[in-house]
Amino acid sequence: MSQMGLREAQMPQLAKTSANGLADFEPVAERNCFVSSKNLVMLVGDSGVGKTCLLVRFKDGAFLAGSFISTVGIDFRNKVLTVDGVKVKLQIWDTAGQERFRSVTHAYYRDAHALLLLYDVTNKASFDNIQAWLTEIHEYAQQDVVLMLLGNKVDSAQDRVVKREDGEKLAKEYGVPFMETSAKSGLNVELAFTAIAKELKHRSMKLPNEPKFKLHDYVKKEVRGSGCCRS
């Protein structure tokens, strides 16, 4: 990543903010806005799979083209989404995929309520590492964490080395919802975060008359294809 990456000197400060800062996300009576301590979404996956770009696409509707600057430690952004007429505020943490920051990432897993686990469809190793990421998630994250698998960079159809069916098969094996995305074109990016927001809202609000939201069904709204020509 990233224009918004942290310098290492900033990391202790952020760690402190995050550890104490959860109070900032306690439910508050903002008009028409569902702000909760239970809306922390974390992006994980190998370095270079596009976590920062996915977040920037979602937050700002832009694509970070050009040279690739790896995330240092962890960074976060907030975004308010309107879900079924209710505003839901997500705090999204962008983690560093590089091995040397893994212990930093481990420290944050336990606070995450949702995880978006990414691989890059043009990078087989990033797909092969998904099982190791799942093992790590199992070890460090909350048992009931909302999890979604994303195959990113589908706009690069000519460089694709991981077939859609392989992503689907792996996701099915682990019972995890799956989508293919492109941070470059924007394909399915909003949809992925909306699915997470809906699930978190549903879990937190527990409205007795609201029909149960089914994340697995919702991801079927995914637009298939490379998304190469959308932007």
Ligand X SMILES: Nc1nc2c(ncn2[C@@H]2O[C@H](COP(=O)(O)OP(=O)(O)OP(=O)(O)O)[C@@H](O)[C@H]2O)c(=O)[nH]1
Q: Which residues here bind ligand X, judged by CB under 6 A?
A: 1-2, 47-53, 64-65, 68, 70-71, 96-98, 152-153, 155-156, 182-184
Q: Which residue number, 160 or 198, has a Cβ lying nearer to ligand X?
A: 160
**Is-cis flag, bond preceding 37, omega within 30?**
no
Smallest gap, in angstroms, from Cβ of residue 218 to ligand X?
21
Give bridge partners of residue 152 from the DSSP assignment: 120
Q: What is the DSSP letter of 97?
A: -
29: Cα separation from own chain's centroid: 26
Q: Which residue number, 40 or 55, has a Cβ lying nearer to ligand X?
A: 55
| DSSP SS3 for 171 | helix
Contact 44, 117 (CB under 8 A): yes
Smallest gap, in angstroms, from Cβ of residue 140 to ligand X?
17
Tell me which residue of 172, 175, 220, 173 sits closest to 195, measured CA to CA: 220
Smallest gap, in angstroms, from Cβ of residue 56 to ligand X?
8
Q: Which residue number, 35 or 219, has a Cβ lying nearer to ligand X?
A: 219
Q: Which residue number, 182 or 194, has a Cβ lying nearer to ligand X?
A: 182
- End-to-end Cα separation, the chain, in angstroms: 20
Smallest gap, in angstroms, from Cβ of residue 66 to ligand X?
7
